[in-house]
Chain A
Amino acid sequence: MPAREMTGAEILVEALVDLGVEVIFGYPGGAVLPIYDVLHRQRRIRHILVRHEQGAVHAAEGYARASGRPGVVLVTSGPGATNAVTGITDALMDSVPIVVITGQVPTHLIGTDAFQECDTVGITRHCSKHNYLVKDVGRLGPVVHEAFHIATTGRPGPVVIDIPKDVQVARARYERPGPVVHRTYRPRIKGDPALVETAVELLASAERPILYTGGGIINSGPLAVRKLRELAQLCGAPVTSTLMGLGAFPASSPQWLGMLGMHGTYEANMAMNRCDVMLALGARFDDRVTGRIDAFSPGSRKIHVDIDPSSFHKTVRVDLAIEGDVGHVLDDMVRIWRARALKPAIAADWWTEIAAWRARDCLAYVQEGPAIEPQHAIRRLWAAVRHRDPIITTEVGQHQMWAAQHFPFEEPNRWLTSGGLGTMGYGLPAAIGAQVAFPDRLVIDIAGEASILMNIQEMGTAAQYRLPVKVFVLNNEYMGMVRQWQDLTYEGRHAESYSASLPDFVKLAEAWGWRGIRIATADELDEGIARMLSHDGPAFVDCRVKKYANCLPMIPSGAAHTEMILKESEIRGELDAEAEALV
């Protein structure tokens, strides 16, 4: 199609269509009215009206995480843009590909403290992967294409495009550009063959190997997931994953150790500590994972595959750093292993040792009496929905960790959670985004009663678009994670961590046209879950659980993997100032 003259707003929408965008999560305002008018007059892109711009960004994240396609957000200038900042930061921390389009005051008013002006590119410069202020309508088309390229390639992340209102109404020619070849931005895809070869040799010679996988496998996509499973089968090593990588490796595999880190399993953390070769795949040695750095897996040689070289040696020095897409690197590793017909050299006692750690049964809990153990609620939920291949989102807190521990996944893109920023209020809008991507799937937000209130307004969005999302609140009347830390650090002084004045969640749900369900005792669990599932619209479950349950096991901040707290009785006391200062 020959280039034709269009307004900036039309160029934007045309470019989005060319990029395959099917849905935008947004909220209108003065500085984006020209774009909204164009959206209103077309049918190719659907717009989902959220109730708060933070919700739009998390919904776009949920959409992206569940579908593997970039999420798109449209918000107005000033407060629209600042409300989006938490979501943008969240996407940066968790490497989620989204493009956020913000309106801006007209170019001639920039810098004058005009109505609803804010320095959007300044504010988002360090919480986005990249950002643009488009002052020339002729640049708009190429910028939009470049923005998607940057958001979705390399280490994915949020890209912000700030478009002044006069640019939205100015006219220029738009032509769909060919594939973007950037002057400076060229992420490396293939790993260095010599390094990959060395990595395979190291892995094959390992007596006590472990695969430590992360969100990068999910970012990379189906190839990485497939090749991870193949390599694991070939090398016979145990597999653990970070919070962000859950689902990449099937939890039903005998090689699966469960999640590692602060609230990971005893077996995963002990195996990390005692391994001789660690293969880190798309994981970034986060402090929730390493614990005390100088005690982190002291005897191992470490191989690190990551597409972002700044992840290398950032917190932990590794012996072999391979820059490249983890899918391609795994593919090469599998090929080399097969070509050379290698055999694992795993020591006979490695799996015996692991079996002994597993025998500690660190996730065990006892459900007795009517009061519900939160772990039990999650287990019952899992039992009721596992055959439906559900997508689970979470808020942030104990419920999030219990879900990670007690809701096993077999496939990727089923587990959407805020890990890096740990944003309470993520789960409901993320569930909405995932449901928009997959209207026929079962999507459940496992929530805490405090977190859910942070973006509770998005219940209106689900109602408006008849999105049958489910919210399953583990209501312990506390900001449980905070309360647990206060017991651990401040001798149980519960400063401001009680969720006072909670609403009647059932009535609240009903007020929005949702089904509201309350579960108060263990014997009501299965029936309550069934009532939630049988409703073809959105449903909200207020599941009352024990108030003082602690999330175990736990490695206190700054402690070593071997100093794991396994018993309830150890959650008490005070910490020295140095330990107290850690988050």
Chain B
Amino acid sequence: MKPTPPPAPRPARPASAPEPLERHTLSVVVDNEAGVLARIVGLFSARGYNIESLTVADISPDHAVSRITIVTEGPRRVIDQIRAQLERLVPVHSVTDLTERGPHVERELALVKVAGTGEKRVEALRLADIFRARPVDTTTSSFIFEVSGSSGKVNQFIELMREVGLVEVARTGVAAMARGRDPA
């Protein structure tokens, strides 16, 4: 039984408009047990979600609970899925979408190494001063600046440093918290 052409016509799928991307900061409180970070990171890679930055540290005196702050980007639908998927993990206490919840503070810290002499060196110092970046290491031909603030501010500072001899950068990723007196 050899099937014969012609091929069955199949309607092509109408291209749906791409959904707009949103950037959200999630604050995830977890039991500080072995493998919990792997569970979360693995969830993002397994389901194809983005991680822009991720920070983690324990936040309770007995080291039993950690806060993981994740900055992610995706269509609204995906952000909602991410939250539901995170909440499904057994060691997760709570997931707060800070971006969704309202006003919140986001900060990150970067160490920025700049090398140069003469005019460039003076300019680097002057720019650092404007950004309230502090030199934390100095040689005759280099600085390491410590800068902190919103990711935007840190980005901007790094961009400027490129022109005066940027060597390397280390960033912490975002730590974030809801404004006001109540916990998120």
Q: Which residues of A contact B (CB under 8 A)?
A: 121-122, 125-126, 129-130, 133, 150, 182-185, 292, 294, 308-310, 312-314, 317, 487-488, 491-492, 548, 556, 558-559, 563, 570-576, 578-579
Instruction: Please tell me if B10 contacts chain A, counting CB pairs below 8 Å.
Output: yes
How many angstroms from the CA of A308 to the CA of B16 in the assembled complex?
Answer: 28
Check A578 against B87 for contact (C-beta < 8 Å). no
- Closest approach, in angstroms, between the C-beta of A177 and any C-beta of chain B? 17
Q: Which residues of A contact B35 (CB under 8 A)?
A: 121-122, 125, 133
Q: Are A310 and B10 in contact (CB under 8 A)?
A: no
Residues of B within 8 Å of A309, CB to CB, are 84, 87-88
Q: Which chain B residues border A579 with CB–CB below 8 Å?
A: 10
Q: A183 to chain B: which residues have CB within 8 Å?
A: 31, 93
Determine which of B2, B5, B42 lies in contact with A125 in the assembled complex, contact meaning CB atoms within 8 Å. Answer: B42
Q: Does B11 belong to the interface (CB within 8 Å)?
A: yes
Are B42 and A313 in contact, CB atoms less than 8 angstroms apart? no
Say yes or no: is B132 at the interface (Cβ < 8 Å to chain A): no
Q: Are B77 and A313 in contact (CB under 8 A)?
A: yes
Bound CA span A313–B5, Å: 40
Contact indicator B5/A573 (Cβ below 8 Å): yes
Q: Is the CB of A184 within 8 A of B92?
A: yes
| Given the contacts A556-B10, A576-B12, A492 and B2 also touching, CB distance less than 8 Å | yes
0 or 1 for each of B84-107: is its CB under 8 Å from A? (1 = yes): 110110111100000000000000
Given A122-B38, A578-B12 in contact, is the A572-B4 Cβ separation under 8 Å?
A: yes
B12/A491 in contact, CB under 8 A: no
Instruction: Sort A-B residue pairs by CB-CB distance and give the 8 closest, nearest first.
Output: A573-B7, A572-B3, A310-B84, A573-B8, A574-B7, A492-B3, A130-B90, A309-B84
Q: Collect the chain A residues with CB atoms within 8 Å of residue B1's CB.
A: 492, 548
Contacting pair A126 B11 (CB below 8 A): no
Q: Which residue of A lies closest to B45 (CB)?
A: A126
Chain A interface, >50% SS class:
loop
Contact sample, A vs B, 20 pairs, CB 8 Å cutoff? A122-B38, A129-B90, A133-B34, A150-B90, A183-B31, A183-B93, A310-B88, A312-B84, A313-B80, A491-B3, A548-B1, A559-B10, A559-B11, A563-B11, A572-B4, A572-B7, A573-B7, A574-B7, A576-B12, A578-B13
B34 and chain A: residue at smallest CB distance: A133
Question: In whole angstroms, how far apart are the Cα atoms of A578 and B14 in the complex?
Answer: 11
CA distance A548 to B1 in the complex (A): 8
Q: Which of B7, B8, B85, B90 contacts A310 (CB 8 A)?
A: B85
Q: How far is the CA of A572 from the CA of B85 in the complex (A)?
A: 40
- A575 x B34 contact (CB < 8 A): no
B51 → A minimal CB distance (Å): 16
Q: Which residues of A contact B93 (CB under 8 A)?
A: 183-184
Judged by a CB distance under 8 angstroms, whether B53 is at the interface is no
User: In whole angstroms, what is the CA distance A379 to B156 when docked?
Assistant: 72
Task: Report the separation of the CA atoms of residues A313 and B6 in the bound assembly, to the nearest whole angstrom.
Answer: 39
